[in-house]
Amino acid sequence: MPALRYVIVDVFTDRALAGNPLAVFTDARGTGTKTMQALAKEIGFSETTFVLPPEQGGHARIRIFNPRAEMPFAGHPTLGTAFVLAAPLQLGMIGIETGAGLVEITLERDSSGHVEFGRMQQPVPKVYPFERTEDLFAALGIAASELPVELYDNGATHIVVTLASEQAVAALAPEPSVIARFEVTGVNCLARAGDRWKTRMFWPLGEDAATGSAAGPIACHLCRHGLVPWGTEIEILQGEEIGRPSTLYARADGSEAGIERVEVSGCAVVVARGEFRLEERAS
């Protein structure tokens, strides 16, 4: 009866029981795809990661599953896994191989050597116009977006909608079944909140507490449309409405010629450890 050990880490928060929870199976060698998917469904978090030996020059390779399917890339799973793996390895930078390529995370430590912050260089997203705006506005219960609605693809696919106020973002209550019709990772709705940005991400399973793969595209969107200067780090607030307040930081470097570099940063906290004992591992 093999033991599959995991660590639970709350990502994009500096305190336990906030942020976006993640389960990291630290040694998934010999674990089949069906078992990985079943474990992700059993745990029920928005994502679960499985750590494997590297194949492309990184320190580790991960496979990312939500309760329904495998994902090539997701932000909070990649950052959270980096926190879990870097602690015992005493690394200042860790390279994690994902389905969207190698992602490098630079780690900042306190005076005791404890990892307290991570900066993740994300894949540069491709940007596409989004044509189904009338259907989208009806699904969200809004009249319009402050900026053009666009689709960003960095291994995850995110629609970005900009509203006039944080109160308008807080009032949203779309049906997940309707959001599922757009066949994207998530629909992200944001508004300025003082010197920060409030966002909510809706996907077919409900609402996400902290969406690292969307934070980079949000920074890109704001820079591309002139609301934020290129190279400026923004602070993003998410998850308040579902009781999981999260703080993300994002920066996009580039110009009118295009996006050059995307960085998403934040904290994470290990909150639990455990193991599954299975009679057999499905292939």
- Quick check: is 47 catalytic? yes
Determine the Cα–Cα distance for residues 144 and 142; give it in Å rounded to an integer: 6
> How is 15-65 classified by DSSP, letter by letter?
STT-SEEEEEES--TT--HHHHHHHHHHH-SS-EEEEE--SSSSSEEEEEE
The residue among 283, 254, 243 whose CA lies nearest residue 13 is 243
Burial 18-27 (b: 16+ CB within 10 A, else e): bbbbbbbbbe
The residue among 239, 262, 245, 232 whose CA lies nearest residue 14 is 245
Please tell me which residue in 42, 47, 241, 263 is annotated as part of the active site. Answer: 47
Q: Give me 30's structure tokens.
A: 């010999």
Residue 274: Cβ within 10 Å count? 11
Determine the Cα–Cα distance for residues 160 and 216; give it in Å rounded to an integer: 11
Fill in the DSSP letter of residue 36: H
Give the three-state DSSP class for 94: strand
Burial bucket for residue 256 (CB in 10 Å: 0-12, 13-18, 19+)? exposed
Extended strands (E) in 196-267:
196-203, 206-208, 234-238, 246-255, 258-266
Q: Hey, which residues are catalytic here?
A: 47
